[in-house]
């Protein structure tokens, strides 16, 4: 297949591109700055994208968006979080819908932030949206794919907390945990719906290749865990104590609104549609996933 990937230089995008090429697919990237021969230039902020260069792709995977865990959530930062996702998705969906040779499938990222804070309630693709800031962002992000709904298969993947030592949440945890300074956050009872990077890549390619998948698809491990369970498991894998908790008030002092929405909110998300479509998870269990990822 010919696959176009936005966010191709990011953590997920670069891994997806490498695996797709390993499987024999031709990969091209959407980029704001690169002039490499296998990249197409675009600028979503200015609505700039040459539709002619989009002709003839079999699949488009849209992963671009401002890093939500970088910097405090000022009003300007929250605007970048939303606009970088919604505006780029609207632009790309509109351009794809107007093509003569349309892709067969448009896979657009979303996130489990859609569900907000719902305690220990099991959540699947039919569950309602939350009420936090990220819930609104994710809802708008998914609706931004609407221009493409009638002319191609569209999949919106609600991605969980991606685990990899290469970056993201796990990479930030490793130093304090290895120093024996790790501990639960808040009550520790909040659910963390995680997914190993190889399964993010595998799930995205599965969505590209599985004609029966469309609409919202939760891209998470089938075994979500509480923050307490995650903390104790990571400590066990690293052979380190986990006795230094971070109370909720300390998390809020350190991270502001981000703490409530990324660290303290609870979403027990299940991958019902992925399982029904017979996706075989590579790393479904937390302890074995951490051991493989960290090669311990």
What is the chain's mean pLDDT, rounded? 96
Q: Please state the φ and ψ torsions of residue 195, each to the nearest 5 degrees.
A: -155, 135
Segment 188-217 shows an average pLDDT of: 98
pLDDT at 32: 86
CA 119 to chain centre: 21
Whether the per-residue pLDDT at 35 is higher than 90: the answer is no
* Residue 295 exposure: Cα atoms within 13 Å on the Cβ side: 2
How is the chain split into domains, by residue range? Answer: 2-162+193-222+268-282
3-state secondary structure the chain: CEEEEECCCCHHHHHHHHHHHHCCCEEEEEECCCCCCCEEEEEHHHCEECHHHHCCCCEEEECCCCCCCCCCCCHHHHHHHHHHHHHHHHHHHHHHHCCCCCCCEEEEEEEHHHHCCCCCCEECCCCCCCCCHHHHHHHHHHHCCHHHCCCCEEEEEEECEEECCCCHHHHHHHHHHHCCCCCCECCCCCEECEEEHHHHHHHHHHHHHCCCCCEEEEECCCCCEEHHHHHHHHHHHHCCCCCCCECHHHHHHHHCHHHHHHHHCCCEECCHHHHHCCCCCCCCCHHHHHHHHHCC
Architecture of the domain made up of 2-162+193-222+268-282? 3-Layer(aba) Sandwich (3.40)
pLDDT at 34: 65
Whether the per-residue pLDDT at 243 is higher than 90: the answer is yes
Segment 44-70 shows an average pLDDT of: 94
pLDDT at 296: 73
| Contacts for 112 with CB less than 8 Å, ≥ 6 apart | 158, 159, 160, 161, 193, 218, 220, 267, 269
262-291 confidence digits (pLDDT tens): 999 999 999 999 999 999 999 999 999 999
pLDDT at 38: 85
- Quote the CA–CA distance of 60 and 218 in Å, as a whole number: 18
Picking from 110, 114, 105, 52, the residue whose alpha carbon sits closest to that of residue 85 is 110
pLDDT at 196: 98
Location of structure tokens 């980029």: 31
Percentage of the residues of the chain whose pLDDT score is greater than 90: 96
72-126 confidence digits (pLDDT tens): 999 999 999 999 999 999 999 999 999 999 999 999 999 999 999 999 999 999 9
Which pTM does this prediction carry? 0.96
pLDDT at 59: 98
Of 283 and 33, which is predicted with more confidence?
283
Adjacent-strand bridge partners of 217:
157
Whether the per-residue pLDDT at 222 is higher than 70: the answer is yes
pLDDT at 11: 95
Percentage of the residues of the chain whose pLDDT score is greater than 70: 99
- Quote the CA–CA distance of 154 and 157 in Å, as a whole number: 10
pLDDT at 261: 95
Picking from 102, 6, 24, 108, the residue whose alpha carbon sits closest to that of residue 56 is 102
């Amino acid at each position: 297949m010919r696959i176009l990937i936005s966010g191709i230089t990011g953590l997920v995008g670069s891994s997806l591109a490498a695996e797709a090429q390993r499987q024999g697919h031709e990969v091209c990237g959407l980029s704001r700055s690169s002039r490499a021969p296998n990249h197409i230039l675009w600028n979503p902020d200015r609505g700039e994208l040459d539709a002619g260069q989009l002709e003839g792709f079999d699949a488009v995977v849209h992963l671009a968006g401002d890093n939500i865990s970088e910097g405090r959530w000022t009003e300007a930062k929250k605007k970048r979080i939303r606009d970088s996702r919604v505006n780029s998705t609207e632009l790309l969906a509109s351009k794809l819908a107007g093509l003569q040779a349309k892709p067969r499938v448009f896979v657009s990222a979303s996130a489990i932030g859609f569900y907000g804070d719902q305690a220990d309630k099991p959540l699947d693709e039919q569950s309602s949206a939350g009420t936090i800031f990220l819930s609104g962002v994710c809802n708008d992000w998914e609706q931004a794919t609407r221009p493409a709904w009638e002319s191609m298969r569209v999949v919106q993947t609600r991605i969980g907390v991606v685990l990899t030592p290469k970056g993201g949440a796990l990479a930030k945890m490793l130093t304090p945990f290895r120093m024996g300074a790790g501990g639960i956050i808040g009550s520790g009872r909040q659910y963390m719906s995680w997914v190993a990077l190889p399964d993010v890549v595998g799930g995205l390619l599965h969505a590209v290749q599985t004609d029966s998948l469309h609409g919202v698809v939760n891209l998470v491990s089938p075994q979500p865990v509480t923050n307490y369970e995650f903390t104790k498991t990571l400590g066990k894998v690293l052979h380190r104590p986990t006795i230094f908790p971070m109370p909720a008030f300390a998390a809020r002092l350190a991270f502001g609104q981000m703490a409530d929405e990324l660290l303290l909110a609870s979403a027990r998300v299940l991958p019902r549609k992925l399982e029904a479509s017979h996706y075989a998870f590579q790393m479904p269990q937390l302890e074995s996933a951490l051991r493989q990822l960290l090669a311990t």
